[in-house]
Amino acid sequence: MAPAFEQVPEDTETQTETPHNAPHTVNNDGQVDYKSRVTVVGSGNWGSVAAKLIASNTLKLNSFHDEVRMWVFEETLQSGEKLTEVINRINENVKYLPGIKLGKNVIADPDLENADVHFVYGETGNCAVKDANMLVFVTPHQFMEGICKRLVGKVREDAEAISLIKGMEVKMEGPCMISTLISEHLGINCSVLMGANIANEIAVEKFSEATVGYRDKREIAEQWVRLFSTPYFLVTPVQDVEGVELCGTLKNVVAIAAGKVAVMSKFGFHPCNSACELNQSYYQMLGFVDGLDMGNNTKAAIMRIGLREMIAFSKLLFSSVRDSTFFESCGVADVITTCLGGRNRKVAEAFAKNGGKRSFDELEAEMLQGQKLQGVSTAREVYEVLSHRGWLELFPLFATVHEICVGHLPPSAIVEHSEQKPKLSVF
Ligand SMILES: NC(=O)c1ccc[n+]([C@@H]2O[C@H](COP(=O)([O-])OP(=O)(O)OC[C@H]3O[C@@H](n4cnc5c(N)ncnc54)[C@H](O)[C@@H]3O)[C@@H](O)[C@H]2O)c1
């Protein structure tokens, strides 16, 4: 069972607000509790960095209890130890964020929802979500439906949620955003936080920005902004949950396209020649510098076309989506960072280098050591929406990424197909 964190005496000089500014709750003893309790559901690369950011703030701000619970999908490490035990002993997620201290007030908890289990062993009933009124969801999107089902009836009715998850579910009735999935299953409001956020860079406190998307309550958005903001992590609220969330979701598909272009550029890919693929002799014929120059221009074109398709797709799905959202960190900035450095781009590059002969599943297992790739499954989900609604021709880049991922088209098709001008204009 996860140990309890011993609260340190409050340093009033570092407190920047009074508890009465914060939304309050009534605890089990009927007493008003002005302090919010935060639980992070998920503990991968970004989940661990999110816990670190939050934990540094809960220690400073009066409106939060110091302790941050982090639900960990339990694993046994090669050493034979449980991951949660190691995190609680050395304050580091050695598997998903090695070398970074999370903060002593982060408590890893393997028990998501079964508080009663602990009573059986004569210990106080607790679990990761039981007491939390601020729930931060940050797992790979494919696990969320199962997690939500486990949490039905287990979270506080007054809890507020935020999703940091990039991805969506596609159901018979259409696409379902993860924030909607959380709201519908748990009956609570759910905001989102997305942005140009490669976790490993934020872990070492390099400056970056993020966007909180909220539905209607500005004070809730401000509470989330306070919880996440640090001098090196600048968070801006925007009243557009779907726009922010779709940005975070769709940019992974664009990054897959960019990964394929990245490798083509090294080998001197020429978009006008359909027979030219990853061919060393062709590259020698063209010349290295020409090939690289073409690569940068081509990559920029992929980002532009990708962003255009992101805007069009988002607005077709939700007419409320705002143009201005795409100019926030969650929009254009996330497209750029993910196309330059993210894991989707990296694995897509390896996929193209192997001429599409090694599957994404194989490369994910080999290159990411337990971390999950989102772009390929999102590309499939987007493709399902496009084909179901008869929109395939309107989104040549999105459609082509999926066709390449499943082996129906060669990696080189990304540029040939993206050359077609989308027939839809949203401007
Ligand atoms: N890593 C980043 O740089 C980054 C940045 C922004 C957003 N995100 C988003 O954050 C979300 C979480 O990504 P991450 O980087 O924290 O995770 P990750 O890919 O690093 O790790 C995978 C996580 O999934 C867990 N897991 C494995 N099997 C599971 C199961 N059956 N049920 C539940 N959990 C299971 C693992 O324990 C691990 O915590 C994703 O939606 C991702 O797109 C990631």
C-alpha 162: how far from chain center: 11
The 10s digit of each residue's pLDDT in 122-152 is 445 678 788 899 999 999 999 999 999 999 9
pTM to 2 decimal places: 0.85
- Distance from the CA of 251 to the center of ligand 1, in angstroms? 17
Nearest CA to ligand 1 atom 23: 44
Nearest Cα to Cα of residue 314 among 329, 302, 330, 338: 330
Local structure of residue 102 (DSSP, 8 states): -
413: its two tokens = 């098709």
Query: Domains in the chain, ordered, with CATH?
Result: 12-239 (3.40.50.720), 244-418 (1.10.1040.10)
Say which residues have a Cβ less than 8 Å from residue 45's Cβ, sequence separation at least 6. Answer: 96, 97, 199, 200, 371
Q: What is the set of active-site residues?
A: 251
Nearest CA to ligand 1 atom 30: 143
Residue 420: predicted pLDDT: 57
203: its two tokens = 């872990």
Residue 394: predicted pLDDT: 93
Residue 27: predicted pLDDT: 60
The DSSP secondary structure of 218-239, one letter per residue, reads HHHHHHHHHHH-BTTEEEEEES
The 10s digit of each residue's pLDDT in 368-416 is 878 877 888 899 999 999 999 999 999 998 998 899 888 888 777 776 6
- Distance from the CA of 376 to the center of ligand 1, in angstroms? 15
Residue 343: predicted pLDDT: 75
Pairing between strand 208-213 and 134-137? Answer: unpaired
14: its two tokens = 């570092």
Q: Are 167 and 154 within 8 A, CB to CB? A: no
Q: Are 352 and 411 within 8 A, CB to CB? A: yes
User: Ligand 1, from 45, 142, 147: best to mutate by most atoms within 8 Å of Cβ?
Assistant: 45
- Distance from the CA of 248 to the center of ligand 1, in angstroms? 14
Rounded CA-CA distance 7/105 in Å is 8
Rounded CA-CA distance 226/72 in Å is 24
Residues of the chain with pLDDT under 50: 8-22, 117-123, 262-294, 424-427
**Pocket flag, ligand 1, residue 163 (CB < 6 Å):** no
**Pocket flag, ligand 1, residue 47 (CB < 6 Å):** yes
Backbone phi, then psi, for 303, in 5-degree steps?
-65, -40
Q: Are 384 and 368 within 8 A, CB to CB? A: no
Say which residues have a Cβ less than 8 Å from residue 165's Cβ, sequence separation at least 6. Answer: 137, 138, 139, 140, 141, 144, 178
User: Ligand 1, from 166, 337, 372: best to mutate by most atoms within 8 Å of Cβ?
Assistant: 372
Tell me the longest C-alpha to C-alpha distance in the chain.
Answer: 78
Q: Are 106 and 55 within 8 A, CB to CB? A: yes
Residue labelled with tokens 């999908």: 73
Q: Are 203 and 217 within 8 A, CB to CB? A: no
Single-letter code of the amino acid located at 221:
A
Residue 118: predicted pLDDT: 43
Residue 340: predicted pLDDT: 82
CA atoms in the 13 A half-sphere facing the CB of 412: 15
253: its two tokens = 């598909």
3-state DSSP call for residue 109?
strand
Backbone phi, then psi, for 45, in 5-degree steps?
-60, -55
Residue 254: predicted pLDDT: 85
Backbone phi, then psi, for 370, in 5-degree steps?
100, -20
